[in-house]
Amino acid sequence: MSLVNFLQQNLPELLTLLRQHLFLVLISTLIAVLIGIPTGILLTRKRSLRGPILGIANVMQTVPSLALFGFLIPLPFIGGIGARPAIIALVLYAFLPIIRNTVTGILGVDPTVREAAVAMGMTDRQILTQVELPLAMSVILTGVRVAMVISVGVATIAAAIGAGGLGTYIFRGLRQNDNNLLLAGAVPAALMALTADFALGFAERKFSFNVKRSNTHRNRIAFGLLALVAAAVALITFQSYRADQASSGEGQRLVVASKDFTESILLAEIAAQMLEARGINVTRKLELGGNLSHEGLVSGEVDLYPEYSGTSYTAIFHHPPITDPRAVYDQVKREYAEKFGVDVSPPLGFENTFAILVRGAVARTLGLRTITDAVPHARRWRAGFGQDFMSRADGYPGFTRAYGLRFAEQPREMDLSLTYVALASGRVDLIAGNSTEGRIAVLDLFQLADDRLYFPPYEAVLLARRDSLARVPALREILTRLGNSLSTEEMRQLNYEVDANKRTPAEVAREWLSRKGFS
Amino acid sequence: MCSSNSDPLVEFRDVTYSVAGLPSPIISKLNLTVKPGETLVLLGESGCGKTTTLKLVNRLLLPTSGMVLVEGRSTTKWDPIRLRRRTGYVIQDAGLFPHFNVERNIALVPTLENWEPGRIKQRVAELLILVGLEPERFASRYPRELSGGQRQRVGVARALAADPSLLLLDEPFGALDPLTRGSLQKQFGELAARLQKTAIFVTHDLREALLLGSRIGLMHAGKLLFVETPEGFLNSKEEYAQAYLETLSLPSDGKRSGGER
């Protein structure tokens, strides 16, 4: 499918994402300006505050954005998932350039001009509004411009906490290895950044008093038009956002979340469509990064999301990995109930364990069947692992220890979805993928058997809050019906439809539901 | 009328100004009176305290000890905004607002004082003519579109805008080339005489002091050595005044020796 075709088919969605993105950027920049400029002015008056406040703003900007989103999730009022914490995070990032440039701009006003202003009998307020701010305006606008360009970039990551925006396409494109999706997300984001850069650069020059100006009148009109367009865009964006919020309607409501990989999205979509078929209003917070789904579930912002028993066992409850599926499931079910008031559905019927993969050709040439078979060869190999695998207890450290594996160099840490292609193209020689990944067959990859039974069982389940189950009785029914309904082969096929055939998860889920007679 | 004329407009009484951390005061025990209508020139090299003296008059600074009286009232008793708006102030490089055109720069104090727009416009035109700039050509220009001399003329016009009784000038012509400086000095002399303004004029240039001053106060290291008329200054036997007078004669000696050849 060409990019043009893609755009033709997905234009409404693209426009929605564009609008969400614009909303995030404009609102957060506006808030940052409204707070940042007065803060900057204060710092020019109170020298003692300058160091500490600029220091804090500086530190804010060095916090990696996904980490900042993570910090914000459990906080009351400002935290959670969706647009609000994303805006808060973007505001925090935008502060530094705005505050710093306000301070620099005002302190940079020619001292003789300021002295003249004082000596002419201007009051402090008059000096600020008539002399300092106008003369500092081009520098302040540079700060706003930098803040806005940063925001356009950081807002792509906001997709990971369910705030939508163009990052949705970028994450999806990475996951599905789809260049059209990547471009459809990245190009508009880049254009938006360039437009913001250009428009504010233009406004800046209006306030630059040391350059010779020509045709002031026409420039003023152009500047006015620009301001009008910006205001109109902001207004439309805001109104459609309000409309989004308002359209959620009456009746029973549930928030269904998913992690940021195809299978999780598909499972969430299946549950969401079944709920919708029963007249329940479903808000989807799909493609959440890290363990934001869990955080959302615990904080009450999410009612339901798909998880794996082994992941909960090791990553959430911090138990050392064990291999008995029954024991893992029972333990996880008990702990969720006790600690979080969360119910665990019956297993859905398939496992998605880590699949240690090598190229099919390599496996055939060397006659590899198990991970133990591969250990002697691994010294000449390079490995590539997702961030998740590198960091979790049952991931890389324990795995290499259990098998005595050594690689030629430190494994490359990369996005999980990229590791499949990296392996197929020979850039790495061994990866840890998902056993239900559709591309395993497509890319001719071979799964080495876990002969030491190192990996704990990862049975797919759905997690639901108990209060949600009490509030929406249909939820219980759905959890029961989905029990033991999906085999590993089926799941691999569904993943394949999305990842390789580029169909939407909603469509693939709908098809599966009707085939099963569930919908 | 006669008695009010002799009342000093500005009076320094034992004024000392010091800054924390500096060993010696910037100004010590300064006594000085400025009579209405006169141009008092404060002469001295940079760092002698003459600019500080000027800033004490319109309350840009307050004395550490002693008292500065303007129209008989201590500057500490004046509302600083009121005091400054009725005191014209001209500085080196003019200190014009770069984002205001000439008209708005000159109109600054009248605008702050809420004059009527018509009156302001008329006043600006008047002042531009007074300082030798054609209103039609210059009113809408920005400071960067003016030469140094033109900027300084606008600076003088701005200081005169609200018709202040007192003008403070801090080396207003110091940054100009000699020809422009000469012409501006001459015009300012005529203007001051015509407008009967009281002025305190700070300079390090003896020629300028002799040309413009009704009286000249010689300052050195924070002290006012003496106040004399230009004639009195030329005849002064004071050691430091002698040193100044020598700078006046050296270049002409050189010229003479060149001419003898």
| pLDDT for the residue A177 | 67
Interface of A with B in 315-344 (CB under 8 A): none
**Structure-token match 């929406």, residue found:** A472
Beta-bridge mates of residue B16? B65
Please name which of A198, A183, A104, A103 lies closest in space to residue A149, comparing C-alpha atoms.
Answer: A198
Cα nearest neighbour of B79 on chain A = A121
What integer best gives the mean pLDDT of chain A? 86
Fill in the DSSP letter of residue A161: G
A135 chain-B contacts, CB cut-off 8 A: 97-99
Q: What is the pLDDT of residues A487-515, one digit of tens each?
A: 888 998 999 898 888 888 999 999 999 99
Q: What is the pLDDT of residues B243-257, one digit of tens each?
A: 888 877 655 544 444
Tell me whether residues B89 and A123 touch, CB distance under 8 A: no
- Residue A115 forms contact with B (CB below 8 Å): yes
Q: What is the pLDDT of residues B214-243, one digit of tens each?
A: 999 999 999 999 999 999 999 988 888 888
pLDDT(A45) > 70: yes
Residues of B at the A interface, defined by Cβ within 8 angstroms: 58, 60, 80-85, 87, 89, 91-99, 108-109, 112, 142, 144-145, 158, 168
B97 chain-A contacts, CB cut-off 8 A: 113, 116-117, 131, 135
A105 chain-B contacts, CB cut-off 8 A: none
Interface of A with B in 17-76 (CB under 8 A): none
Please name which of B170, B165, B178, B236 lies closest in space to residue B201, comparing C-alpha atoms.
Answer: B170
The CA–CA distances, whole Å, from B184 to B3, B45, B89, B160, B173 equal 33, 21, 16, 15, 8
The CA–CA distances, whole Å, from A313 to A392, A393, A455 equal 11, 10, 12
A203-217, B32-46, B52-66, B189-203: which has the minimum mean pLDDT? A203-217
The backbone torsions φ and ψ at residue B134, rounded to the nearest 5 degrees and listed phi first, read -75, 125
Contact A456, A328 (CB under 8 A): yes
From CA A136, how far away is CA B134, in angstroms rounded?
A: 31
DSSP one-letter string for A230-291: HHHHHHHHHHHHHHHHHTT-SS-EEEEEEESSHHHHHHHHHHHHHHHHTT-EEEEEEEE-TT
- Residue A268 forms contact with B (CB below 8 Å): no
With cut-offs at 50, 70 and 90, classify the pLDDT of residue A243: low
Rounded to 5 degrees, what angle do the CA atoms A266, A272, A274 make?
Answer: 105
Mutation target to probe the B interface, by most B beta carbons within 10 A, among A120, A130, A206, A215 is A120
Tell me whether residues B99 and A209 touch, CB distance under 8 A: yes
What integer best gives the mean pLDDT of chain B? 88
| pLDDT for the residue A324 | 86
The one-letter code for the residue type at B23 is: P
Option in B84, B95, B158 nearest A113 (CB): B95
DSSP H or E segment with residue B209: helix B206-212
Beta-bridge mates of residue B228? B216
Cα nearest neighbour of A207 on chain B = B99
A134 chain-B contacts, CB cut-off 8 A: 99
Residue A431, SS3? strand
Taking the alpha carbons of A315, A321, A327, A331 in that order, is the dihedral positive or negative? negative
A77-81, A96-100, A433-437: which has the minimum mean pLDDT? A77-81
Tell me whether residues B89 and A119 touch, CB distance under 8 A: yes
A131 chain-B contacts, CB cut-off 8 A: 97
A212 chain-B contacts, CB cut-off 8 A: 144-145
Q: What is the pLDDT of residues B75-131, one digit of tens each?
A: 999 999 999 999 999 988 888 999 999 999 999 999 999 999 999 999 999 999 988
pLDDT(A241) > 60: no
Q: What is the pLDDT of residues A80-123, one digit of tens each?
A: 677 888 898 899 999 999 999 999 999 999 999 999 999 999 99
- Residue A124 forms contact with B (CB below 8 Å): no
Option in A120, A121, A135 nearest B98 (CB): A135
Taking the alpha carbons of A337, A342, A345, A349 in that order, is the dihedral positive or negative? negative
Tell me whether residues B58 and A119 touch, CB distance under 8 A: yes
Interface of A with B in 91-110 (CB under 8 A): 110
Beta-bridge mates of residue A342? A465
| pLDDT for the residue A209 | 67
| pLDDT for the residue A217 | 58
ipTM of the complex: 0.88
Tell me whether residues B95 and A126 touch, CB distance under 8 A: no
CA distance B215 to chain A (A): 25
Q: Higher confidence at residue B224 or residue A75?
A: B224
Chains A, B: CB contacts under 8 A, how many? 64
